[in-house]
Amino acid sequence: MADRMDVYLNFNGNASAVALLYGKVFDKNVEIMKFKEFPTFAEMEGVNPDWIGHAEISFDNSNLMFSDGPGMKMVQGNNFSLSWATDNKEKFSKVWNNFVREGANVKEEPMKTFFASLYGRLEDPFGISWLLLYNDQNETM
């Protein structure tokens, strides 16, 4: 896998409606996973089980992703994140460290998750939310 850049849109309870609308507009299939379907749901406190944990529309070379982000203050106009993924662990570390060195505010330190070998979230000095992912192609999630 080459480096990949995707857009992640966050909502406050209506991510499903938005994802379904965009799927219809672009005539694309929408994959939807509710929070209650997450393997880690039992550990999530105060999360509406029927809200969307992750929805996705695949295009030829990118994805448009959606979530009802729990614990995130949603303001129309800043309810998105840029998602960057790589299968190169050294490149992941370099990009992560470059962000931190340039003053990014770490929101979630890199950690293993059920969807990535390493996942971390930060906000750059300009207020843009970034989701950084490393996926080891030899590892099963």
Q: What is the pLDDT of residues 75-126, one digit of tens each?
A: 777 778 889 999 999 999 999 999 999 899 999 999 999 999 999 999 988 7
Provide φ and ψ at 17, rounded to 5°.
Answer: -60, -40
pTM, two decimal places: 0.71
Domain range 4-40+49-134, CATH architecture? Roll (3.10)
Domain map of the chain by residue range? Answer: 4-40+49-134
